[in-house]
Amino acid sequence: MAILEAGSNDAAAALVDIEGGRLSVNEFAVRLADTVVGQVELLRRKGFVRIYVVNMPPLHYTPIVKLKRREEMARSLVHAYNKLLETKARDFGVIDLTRFVESAIRPAVTKALKITDTQSFCMTGDSWLRLFDDQLSVVKIFKYLVTGYSGAAACDDPGSMFFFDPIHPSHQVHRLFGYGVFHQLMMARNTASPFVFSEEILIAIINQHRLHERTSTS
């Protein structure tokens, strides 16, 4: 089995070019969807039978998209790509990251997970914000992640935040998503009924796996 997740950072980068008129929403969506389908085919040639692709999260919730006032553009891009991905999902399943985030960020779920902040982010310093200025590139993001930045530091309580940096969720949200995907895959083995992320399901997962109990990294 293989799970493929791709495109979220690329989409955040693409918003700069879309805003500047150098790229259209449809062009990006088609390019990314074709790339993902090509990667699925490569996995099949390697012998993988069960393949799942994670769709794009709702980027309009992220602090950086809100700060740059690109919410509507992000909504259009995510909708276009996810809709296109669904039409191509003949030989692979789709894990609905959009529905997960929309459910996970709701007050009932964040309260159960003991998250108190869904608006700001944990990583301090302004270097992250400069990454999302004009001519942003994935290479630029990767260079930042590899080299780090001396002016950046984590907040005192990352586990209380929904976002760790301007675009990525905190470890608490990642853990919940991991357990959620596990439940989806187990359900797919035992029934043909579709698995749909919801507030109720996520709260049940939090309670079952005691995800409200902070780890040593919190």
Is pLDDT above 90 for 213? no
CB 15 within 8 A of CB 134: no
Q: Which residues partner with 95 through β-bridges?
A: 54
Confidence of residue 16 (pLDDT cuts 50, 70, 90): confident
Q: Are 82 and 33 in contact (CB under 8 A)?
A: no
- HEC string of 46-113? CCCCCEEEECCCCHHHCHHHHHCCCHHHHHHHHHHHHHHHHHHCCCCEEECHHHHHHHHCCHHHHHHC
Q: Which two tokens stand for residue 182?
A: 């596990």
Can you say whether residue 114 is alpha, beta or left, with left for phi > 0 and alpha for psi between -120 and 50 degrees? left
Cβ proximity of 96 and 55 under 8 Å? yes
What is the pLDDT of the chain when averaged over all its residues? 87
Closest CA relative to residue 106, chosen from 96, 118, 120, 121: 118
Backbone angles phi, psi at 116, to 5 degrees: -110, -10
Q: Which of 168, 154, 128, 167 is nearest to 217 (CA)?
A: 154
Over the stretch 117-173, which tens digit does the pLDDT of each residue have?
999 988 875 555 555 555 555 565 566 555 555 456 678 899 999 999 888 999 999
* Spatial contact of 218 and 157, defined as CB atoms under 8 Å apart: yes
For 155-180, b/e burial (b = at least 16 CB within 10 A) is: beebbbbbbbbbbbbbbbbebbbebb
pLDDT score at 177 = 97
pLDDT digits (tens, 9 = 90+) for 46-77: 999 999 999 999 999 999 899 889 999 999 99
Mean pLDDT of 169-187: 94
- Is the pLDDT higher at 12 or at 21? 21
